[in-house]
Structure 1
Amino acid sequence: MSSSFILLQGTASFFFAQLANALQARGHGVQKINFCGGDVVYSGSCEKQDYVGSSADLAAWYSELFKRRGATDVMLFGDCRPVHVPVHSVAEAHGVRVHVFEEGYVRPNWITLEQFGVNGRSLLSRDPAWFNQHRDSIPPVPESRHTGYNLRERAYHDIRYRLANAVYARRFPHYASHRPCNGALEYAGLAYGMAGASRRERHAANVTSTLLVQRAHYYLVPLQLNSDAQVVHHSAFAGVMEFAATVLDSFARCAPSDTALVFKSHPLDTGLIDHRRGVFDLARKLGVGHRVHFIKAGHLPTLLSHSRGVVVINSTVGLSALHHDRPLIALGAAIYDMPGMTWQGALDDFWTSGSSPDRELYQTFLSHVIDQTQINGDFYTRSGIAMAVSGVMNRLERRK
């Protein structure tokens, strides 16, 4: 039976265009909604419509669109983007299924597709008893194929998308991007960072080597991006520095005196906010400057496997920490935050009482997450998009 799909804003790539082609080839109706110039450039050959109104009118517009199209399904990338915020309540009122794409919970080689929402809005169970009860019925983790993903191709599409936004700006006078600053600033920061990449790698390698040679007891704190929806919408922190300050304050008061703290910046951090300086300034004020390290690169598996514990907001690095059997505490809403996998007590107590995760529970959880929400592919390369589209179609047909 054919369905009527509405495709809202996708990634800065041809993923939604290729997905629309696949849906139409299976006999489904498809309409793509464009909110900005980048959407226009990447909308493909399906039927499309522009939304040029204000955010205040968007919910009513969605309601009319769903009625007029007889919509059965709506697809979008990132359920916290401003243009997507009104969708859930309107879709529920009209009986429309919501499918949300996001970067993979499991990386690399996977993308996320969930019904209703992702991350803090995910409907995945957080009850360890549920996983123990269903352990025997959850398929094992399948082998993933490499997608060919590379950062250069992703950056090319992102720049092209942003340029199109500028070219078509008058056509979409009310559009406000979910990105916190303009592309020129972001890419200037990334370019500056790339110029010093080898120096940062050497520094990170030296810090890591020193910690390992000294058999130091250290905790790892992977930082996220300030603009990450996980931080903005699914945590109580106003930004990454507020999180870092919370961790530093607790560490200074409660962590054993022979332990160290290692902050690692996000690989895509533009450096427009100097987190390193902020961390060291506060560490010195708290009297622990000599016990704190800040690195902007480094081999994450090595850092994780030798750490005494890991502190995150809700980063996907948390899953890597669990994979490496490390004690973990999540200070924001995370799909993996549950008894038996993460520390459920206070941060002050984590430094001395954090324990390793239940391996069997973790393996069952990971198998369920991949079976229900992950698709082998990526959003940016030809090979990865082809794999992802094929996986999405198989997933949709499996659930009919």
Structure 2
Amino acid sequence: MNKEEYPISDDELMKLSIYNITYRERILHTKVPTKELKMYKRYMHYIDKFIDKHDVQVVCLFNGYHWIDQVTKVIAHRRGLDVIYFEDGLFRPYTITCDPEGINEMSSIPRSASFYDAIELDEKRLKKHLFTPESDHLHEKNESLLVVAFVKLLSMIGSGLHIHPNYYVHITFWQGLKYFFKKRTFSRQTEDEVELPEEYVFLPFQVSRDTQILYHSPHIKDMRDLLDHTFNAVKAINVAEGKNLHIVVKEHPEDMSRVNYDDLKERYKNEEEVLFVEKFDIHTLIEKAEAVVTINSTVGIEALAKTKRVVTLGDAFYNIEGVVHHARTPGELPETLNKSLHTKVNRGRIRKFIYYLRFHYQIEGSLQSKHKRTADKIAAHMLAMENREEHGYEIHSSYSS
């Protein structure tokens, strides 16, 4: 690659939602090296020329927060090109997210309660295919851990040789090795032998340094914060209501090799209201809970699929009246959680919301396996989005499966 740079200032680059930059500043508390910014500009120059040479009309990004996604989006917007975001689906492993606005909180998913009230619900379809495919060509296929590890290793070598910016600024080689072995052994680990409390709030930890936390959690900076605020809320409810409500905390499997919560467990070891689990059936934890408290995780969607009470503390696309109870600040959590426990679940609206997500918004298919029918559905969905300004959100209903 030559050393020509795309015309963009360092300040403009620093203002982008590039995960590497955000992670360095907020977590590592270090400055972004000038040479890294120069490398971004060199890649932007190459991408710009590539788009020009091949007359690219649509740019597709996966997730959207990696450095290459963010810099490519700048070029696409300057050129007036359409940008489409992909991500693993909300009902994994049989669905795909494909959205012209972004993923998660940035998505085009309607936020109006009346929109969902007007949806026609096919109860039989919802019950049969919420988590199972309608297409007979789809079969569950997990990512090969060895392939993923090999690709990440190559990327680390490439960044070490200054061939490209670092994709994995948030993890060292040794941390990656530890993660690999933890991932290999976790599936063989036996479930925790614990007796669940009679009444509890389920608190699923999220990946602590995920984009969902860095970009869409304005008040909760990490999982320690999340537990502290939830504990204070539960304590306040127990005192005011004379209840014996507990909290069941489940660590996120992706974080077990990277984040040590021993200090947190030590701090709460004498608090009988708090129970930590590492490996336990999440469906059981959701079903038996009085409510699920989350920042903005996909566990919230799993809970809604079971029409459970959900309380959110962060920016989430499912912060919809009658679907979840949203605490705008941690200070509102005691009142919001208590209100949710005393409010009848709006099963009708929740089920219509879930139905819309599964059969209208998502594309049925898998990014883990190649198949022409999946490619055809994605192509049809993308073609429909060309008429987005004319049809608005209705485009999703035409290409549900």
TM-score normalized by the length of structure 1? 0.73
Compared CA separation, residues 303 and 387, structure 1 to 2 (3 A): farther
**Could you say what the CA RMSD is over the residues aligned between the two structures, in angstroms?**
3.2
For the 8 Å contact 2:307–2:351, the answer to whether it is kept is no
243, 250, 259: which one aligns with 2:233? 250
**Aligned AA for 2:55?**
G
Structure number with greater CO (CA < 8 Å, separation at least 6) is 1
For the 8 Å contact 1:97–1:116, the answer to whether it is kept is no
Alpha-carbon offset, residue 311 of structure 1: 0.5
Compared CA separation, residues 267 and 388, structure 1 to 2 (3 A): farther
Alpha-carbon offset, residue 379 of structure 1: 2.4
For the pair 1:225 / 2:211, whether they are aligned, the reply is no
Structure 2: segments with no counterpart, 5+ residues: 1-35, 387-401
Between structures 1 and 2, the one with greater strand share: 1
Indicate the residue corresponding to 1:347 in structure 2.
Answer: 333
For the pair 1:121 / 2:114, whether they are aligned, the reply is no
Alpha-carbon offset, residue 218 of structure 1: 0.5
CA deviations on 1:308-333 (whole Å, 9 max, x unpaired) are 00001111111111122211111111
Indicate the residue corresponding to 2:249 in structure 1.
Answer: 263
Indicate the residue corresponding to 1:70 in structure 2.
Answer: 55
For the 8 Å contact 1:280–1:289, the answer to whether it is kept is no
For the pair 1:290 / 2:284, whether they are aligned, the reply is no
339, 345, 360: which one aligns with 2:348? 360
Give the 3-state SS of the residue equivalent to 1:268 in structure 2: helix
Indicate the residue corresponding to 1:395 in structure 2.
Answer: 381
Looking at structure 2, the residues matched to 60 and 138 of structure 1 have their Cα atoms a distance apart, in angstroms, of: 50
Alpha-carbon offset, residue 273 of structure 1: 1.3
90, 95, 103: which one aligns with 2:80? 95
154, 159, 166: which one aligns with 1:164? 154
Looking at structure 2, the residues matched to 217 and 137 of structure 1 have their Cα atoms a distance apart, in angstroms, of: 32
Looking at structure 1, the residues matched to 75 and 122 of structure 2 have their Cα atoms a distance apart, in angstroms, of: 33
For the 8 Å contact 1:248–1:283, the answer to whether it is kept is no
Q: Give 1:161-200 correspondences, 5 Å limit.
A: 161-169=151-159, 172-178=162-168, 180-192=170-182, 194-195=184-185, 200=190
Looking at structure 2, the residues matched to 190 and 246 of structure 1 have their Cα atoms a distance apart, in angstroms, of: 32
**Aligned AA for 2:147?**
H
Indicate the residue corresponding to 1:11 in structure 2.
Answer: none
Looking at structure 2, the residues matched to 301 and 72 of structure 1 have their Cα atoms a distance apart, in angstroms, of: 43
For the pair 1:328 / 2:314, whether they are aligned, the reply is no
Looking at structure 1, the residues matched to 121 and 45 of structure 2 have their Cα atoms a distance apart, in angstroms, of: 42
Indicate the residue corresponding to 1:272 in structure 2.
Answer: 258
Alpha-carbon offset, residue 372 of structure 1: 4.5
CA deviations on 1:217-271 (whole Å, 9 max, x unpaired) are 0010111112321112111233232322322233333445411100111233333
Compared CA separation, residues 58 and 268, structure 1 to 2 (3 A): same
The number of equivalent residue pairs is: 334
Looking at structure 2, the residues matched to 157 and 272 of structure 1 have their Cα atoms a distance apart, in angstroms, of: 20
